[in-house]
Structure 1
Amino acid sequence: MQLHFHGYEWAGDGRLLAKESERRPVEGGGFRLSELPPLMTGWWLLRPPAQVRGTWAAPADAVEWLAGRYEEHTPGGDPWLPIEARRQCAVEQLAGASDVVRSRWVSDNRWSGHYVIVCPNKVWPQFSCPMR
């Protein structure tokens, strides 16, 4: 299967991230239908196809989506790392078959996370593509 990339996102009350049973693929934990981000990035591939926000063949296209989503939830960017440096780093990571995560607290209780997951995933090769 040709390497490609799936985008996922979650924004909400960060206190919900404590619901680990929904964030781990264990029997009876509600993981599969949960919208909460999994504890491991590759576990996104175990979620239903409806949770995929986009699929791309080229790292640069996936990074464009990621940058747009991150900018929407982080107006003005991050003072620690300029957006262009973030973009370049993300393209290199995806080209090297590594997942990319852009997440942060956007207020006292609000968490915003955006994820681009490599598929097939080198860390989790047993997981099939969610779009098949």
Structure 2
Amino acid sequence: MHFHGYEWAGDGRLLAREAERRPVEGGGFRLSELPPMMTGWWLLRPALQIRGTWTEPEQATAWLAARYESHTPGGDPWCPTERRRRYAEERLGRGDDLVWSRWVSDSRWSGHYVVACPSRAWPGLRCPVGEVSRPSPVSERQNGREHGPRPR
């Protein structure tokens, strides 16, 4: 397993353009820079959208915390960054995806995403950098299922 990092910051009103955020034919999904509706769907996007790839949860979490802090100086008073980091490392170690996002002004949205690859929720998706990704039997047992939903 490895992890890919993605980010998007911009006018939050653009998030209403759902056709660009869902992998439906004719919706412009592949070329859109808007974040997908489901985190695993980032893996359907071109590799150029990847901001980093890591093999260890600690590496991915360090990137996530740095990017979040750059868009949210001082972090979130309700959940200090160090607490977030500990939680993130634990969740990534289990093969879960992470999203750290927030409104940074009345209309500006900042989102930072770390996606486990292979995806436990979307096991049929290939790695966007060309690796064939299959969930390990361990991650399937932890998830409690062998097959997840598939994108339409």
The two structures have a TM-score, normalised by structure 1, of 0.98
Within 5 Å, give how 1:23-34 maps onto structure 2.
23-34=21-32
Match of 1:18 in 2: 16
Match of 1:39 in 2: 37
**Unaligned residue ranges in structure 2 (runs of 5+):** 131-152
Within 5 Å, give how 1:1-132 maps onto structure 2.
3-132=1-130
SS of structure 2 residue aligned to 1:80: coil
Note the C-alpha offset of 1:4. Answer: 0.2
Identity among equivalent pairs (%): 70
Q: Following superposition, which runs of at least 4 residues in structure 1 exceed 3 angstroms of deviation?
A: none
SS of structure 2 residue aligned to 1:81: coil
**Deviations 1:19-49 (CA, angstroms, capped at 9, x unpaired):** 0000000000000000000000000000000
The two structures have a TM-score, normalised by structure 2, of 0.85
Instruction: Give, in whole Å, the separation in 2 of the partners of 1:89 and 1:82.
Output: 11
Larger RCO (CA within 8 A; separation ≥ 6): 1
Instruction: Give, in whole Å, the separation in 2 of the partners of 1:24 and 1:121.
Output: 17
**Deviations 1:90-124 (CA, angstroms, capped at 9, x unpaired):** 00000011001000000010000000000000000
Length, aligned pairs only: 130
SS of structure 2 residue aligned to 1:11: strand
CA RMSD in angstroms comes to: 0.3
Instruction: Give, in whole Å, the separation in 1 of the partners of 2:112 and 2:100.
Output: 5
